[in-house]
Amino acid sequence: GLSQIGSESDWRNANTESFKSVFTAGNGYYLLYEDAQQKQENQLKAVRDFILQEVDYTILDPIVETGWDTVLMEAEDAGIPVILVDRQMVLENDELYTCWVGSNFREEGRTAGRWLEDYLKSQGRENEEIRMVTLQGTPESSAQIGRTSGFADVLSEHENWNMLDKRNGEFTQAKGQEVMGDFLKLYEDIDVVVSENDNMTFGAIEAIEQAGRSCGPGGDIIVISFDAVSEAAFTYMKEGRLHADMECNPFLAPMVDTIIKRLERNETVEKIQYVEERCFDAFMDLDAVMEERKY
């Protein structure tokens, strides 16, 4: 049984596709797929349905970090291992899940901060006042918490970086565009937009351009994004409308497949498994990157 969060973004769709293409009958699986439509209560219901249907494994991508203890105890009582993917949980007892695979979101946030630090330096702007806004993802999700706090780690080292506002853009293009439109009305002279996923970024770029402003190298606003989805994010960077993008790998299903095979052989699995990720920017040879990149 797989409890997926929804279909809010290109990243999410690539992630769903990853599971559907790996967990096939041909590979020896029967996948029960549940789309929670952005509601934790739907995920709780899905896990309980999986228990009733006596699945062998539950794969769960938790929309937010808290509120899972009871349902995981129910899965444990039923003897069903729970594998967490992508986002993490804060639990009283970490024994309640078998293992987790996904991204180091805090590291992604720090990488974004370090990228900005280097870039401003290269432009001779390291001592200027830098006015920034953040488009945040789903509140209380690991991806939001990690990216916000990782960026804040670097922000705290720069007195001249001024974070004017942080607002929820729900990880969607429509909301990203709306919130960016509000920011542009509220604040003059925004230098940097930190956008916690690509779809909000695409919406933000629309809003910036509609307001008669420009972004990307040569433009007046620096936009930093997360996910680096193929090919849209690369196209924006190649067009010079997006500065930098922190990679977030959506293809987690092969790792889960390996984990399940190990568990079937009664072998141990690592509790926490991070996927490797990079940072891309508009100044790289992006065609070469896309050729060697697997997704």
The count of other CB atoms within 10 Å of the CB of residue 150 is 22
Of 201, 195, 184, 5, residue with least CA distance to 84: 5
- Choose the stretch contacting ligand GYE; rule: CB under 6 A; options: 7-15, 39-47, 150-158, 174-182: 7-15
- Choose the stretch contacting ligand GYE; rule: CB under 6 A; options: 5-13, 65-73, 204-212, 230-238: 5-13
First to last CA, the chain: 25
Residues 43-72 that bind ligand GYE (CB under 6 A): none
Minimum distance, C-beta of residue 108 to ligand GYE, in the bound complex (Å): 9
Is residue 175 within the footprint of ligand GYE (CB under 6 A)? no
Rounded CA separation 286/163 (Å) = 30
The smaller minimum CB distance to ligand GYE, of residues 156 and 235, is found at: 235
The smaller minimum CB distance to ligand GYE, of residues 183 and 226, is found at: 226
Minimum distance, C-beta of residue 171 to ligand GYE, in the bound complex (Å): 4
Residues 114-173 that bind ligand GYE (CB under 6 A): 143, 171
Helix, strand, coil percentages, rounded to 5, for the chain: 45, 20, 40
Minimum distance, C-beta of residue 12 to ligand GYE, in the bound complex (Å): 5
CB 117 within 8 A of CB 92: no
Q: What is the three-class DSSP state of 47?
A: helix
DSSP string, 178-215: HHHHHHHHH-S---EEEESSHHHHHHHHHHHHHTT--B
The smaller minimum CB distance to ligand GYE, of residues 28 and 254, is found at: 254
How many residues sit close enough to ligand GYE to count as binding (CB under 6 A)? Answer: 13
Minimum distance, C-beta of residue 102 to ligand GYE, in the bound complex (Å): 7
Buried b (16+ CB within 10 A) or exposed e, 183-218: bbeeeeebbbbbbbbbbbbbbbbbbbeeeeeebbbe
* Binding-site member from 62, 86, 130, 192 for ligand GYE (CB under 6 A): 86
* Binding-site member from 12, 110, 175, 243 for ligand GYE (CB under 6 A): 12
* Binding-site member from 1, 3, 8, 222 for ligand GYE (CB under 6 A): 8
Residues 206-265 that bind ligand GYE (CB under 6 A): 226-227, 248
Q: Which residues bind ligand GYE (CB under 6 A)?
A: 8-9, 11-12, 86-87, 103, 143, 171, 197, 226-227, 248
